[in-house]
Homo-oligomer: A and B are copies of this chain.
Amino acid sequence: MSKGRWTIKRITVKTRGRNDFVDITSLVAEEVEASNIQRGFCTLFVPHTTSGITINENTDPNVIRDIEVALERAVPWTGDYRHFEGNSAAHVKASLMGFSLQVPIADGRLCLGTWQGIYLCEFDGPRTRDVWIQLFAG
């Protein structure tokens, strides 16, 4: 329940494999519902450097699989990299997806499109990752 105009909460998700897009839509929607905010916005923020956040189709799982494949083609895991941890491609992909995302809230619900899901995208897992969910009531 929102006690003021703002709520902020950190959720934790577990990722599997090296690349993993974890659908966090329902976790975010639950926070919006619990807040009773009718109009405002939701800001999501990922405090990591090999995982980012994005939106994409949540119906055919092959869409996410294809995004992972296309990103691997554009930014291969091996290459002319010097970072000692050997995970430079993961850092690049995280920046390509981005670390913050803002979704409007109207009529008490996230204004997501019909086919949209919100994904935490890990590119150097498996790891346990945080996402900050910040809600603002307008």
Contact = CB atoms under 8 A, between A and B. Distances in A.
Within the oligomer, what is the number of copies of this chain? 3
A63 B49 CA distance: 10
Contacts of A47: 111-114, 116
Interface string A95-138: 11111111110100001111110000000000000101010101
A28 interface: no
A79 B66 CA distance: 9
Interface residues of A, number: 63
A70 B89 contact: yes
A74 interface: yes
A23 interface: no
Nearest to A51: B113
